[in-house]
Amino acid sequence: MKKFLLALLLIPNLALANSENVAEAGVIDTTAHHPKQMKWEFDGIFGSVDRASAQRGYQVYKEICSACHSLQRVSYRNLTALGFSEEEVKQIASEVLVSDGPNDDGEMFDRPGLPSDKFVGPYANEQAARSSNGGAYPPDLSLIVKARHDGANYVYSLLTGFVDVPEEFPMTQGKSYNPYFEGRQISMPAPITDDGQIDYRDGTYATKEQMVIDVTNFLQWAAEPETEVRKKMGVRTMLFLGILFVILLAAKKAVWKRVK
């Protein structure tokens, strides 16, 4: 028993010694950092997506992210939920060409997009995407916030995490250094690089920080457009159950009062 307890006491020292040996051996740490913890308006049971920010985020996606990333699970008509008018949505959809058909001659054809269409991606297929990105496949962003642990904070941290490569870090050619990405090497170069990179329609000055916050809000909405409805339903359900509990408690007391 004494030997067992002694062994337990020695474990922390052995672990520390091992980590020191690893450091001395020159092993590079490639573990991703934990995402920065931000405060978002959509957090909490009463939280909701900042509509103005999400609208600007759509513009960031359209002018920067959509060059490589698709948004296949979102339809143009869904943008009305962010405050875009039906006419604005029709205009946005009509700016893209959608492959449709076959026509009466059995041929496929291109037509202007409709509000009912899904967002058109930048590439015809995965092979075309890989060919244009050095073999890497840019992920679809529809569910990126749900697909990553601590999703919104992860997206924010990744987009703000591009920094100079540490001298001792062995980079692969064509990769960018980002400590928030697993392995710390990512095929995507920093997409948001300068203040004023785009001109917001609402006149807000597009700082790097603002663009990252806005596109994160947009992607949060894209991943969970029903969140607010679900939260409201949850609150109503809790209120209903609370009222029902009070009524049942009062009824119980009234019934048993007569029995006594």
Higher local confidence (pLDDT), 128 or 105: 128
pTM of the model: 0.81
Query: Two tokens at 4?
Result: 């067992």
Query: Looking at the DSSP assignment, which residues form a beta bridge with residue 111?
Result: 98
Where is 235: in which H helix or E strand?
A: helix 227-259
- Would the pLDDT of 15 be above 80? no
Q: How confident is the model at residue 22 (pLDDT cuts 50, 70, 90)?
A: very low
Q: What is the dihedral of CA 154, 59, 206, 51, to 10 degrees?
A: -70
Checking if the pLDDT of 254 tops 80, the result is no
Say if CB 28 and CB 169 are below 8 A apart.
Answer: yes
Structure confidence by residue, pLDDT tens digits, 166-175: 999 999 999 9
Proportion of the chain above pLDDT 70, given as a percent: 85
pLDDT of 23 > 50? The answer is: no
C-alpha span between 122 and 134 (Å, rounded)? 15
- Binned at pLDDT 50, 70 and 90, residue 135 comes out as very high
- The whole-number pLDDT of residue 195 equals 98
Structure tokens at 236: 């109503």
- pLDDT at residue 153 tops 80: yes
Strands, E assignment, the chain: 97-100, 109-112, 176-177, 185-186
